[in-house]
A and B are shown apart, each in its own frame.
Chain A
Amino acid sequence: AQKITQTQPGMFVQEKEAVTLDCTYDTSDPSYGLFWYKQPSSGEMIFLIYQGSYDQQNATEGRYSLNFQKARKSANLVISASQLGDSAMYFCAMRVKEYNFNKFYFGSGTKLNVKP
């Protein structure tokens, strides 16, 4: 069964500090991808970062990095030097192949509040 779990419904972080948002997954597909999206209060879904299951290095995009621990089936998002504009919902998603086409599974999200 395909499953993706975000166990933190909400988190607070002080501005300029780093924060880690947790994501665990389960799949039998050996070739999968892990995505993180940001959804601010405006409602749009912003693609942040991608990690492939065969990638040896952790993905990084600016202040975002993905702490990929394959054996533990975790793909945590690390935001360094938090800014007020980082306050948003964050969704972890997993892409697998089912019947030879791509299928996405989304976590329930973590609401991040950055405090000044």
Chain B
Amino acid sequence: DARVTQTPRHKVTEMGQEVTMRCQPILGHNTVFWYRQTMMQGLELLAYFRNRAPLDDSGMPKDRFSAEMPDATLATLKIQPSEPRDSAVYFCASGLVRGAEGALYEQYFGPGTRLTVT
């Protein structure tokens, strides 16, 4: 049963510390998304990779957030320095772009990383 995995599942850190979240997409998927979910804002797209290349990171605060895909089996989201307003659940999702139009017909989410910044 193929799944997206994320580590850590929970992270509590102090303001100013660096936080790194990791995601292993489903084997064979060529797209990876990072989302943030809060009660106030709902689900927000932070970054989107296709074939490991960043295509859209317009939803990400550039001064403190960075997202990378060092290889096809690992995506990372880093926050440096972290702030209390970054407290949220961060989801990674993966999918397979298919067809001439390059559309996504499925998108599977990981279990999320619950981040608390104090």
Contacts and interface: CB of A to CB of B under 8 A. Distances in A.
B48 A47 contact: no
Interface residues of A, number: 23
Q: Which of A31, A35, A103 has the most CB of B within 10 A?
A: A103
Give the size range of B's interface with the partner.
20 to 34
A97 B114 contact: no
Contacts of B33: 104
Interface in A81-116: 91, 95, 97, 99-104, 106, 108-109
B76 to A, nearest CB: 20
Interface in B93-114: 93, 95, 97, 101-109, 111-112, 114
Contacts of B95: 102
Contacts of A33: 103-105
A25 interface: no
A43 interface: yes
Given A102-B95, A104-B33, 15 more contacts: A33-B103, A43-B114, A44-B111, A46-B109, A47-B108, A50-B106, A95-B104, A95-B107, A97-B102, A102-B31, A102-B102, A102-B103, A103-B56, A104-B45, A106-B43
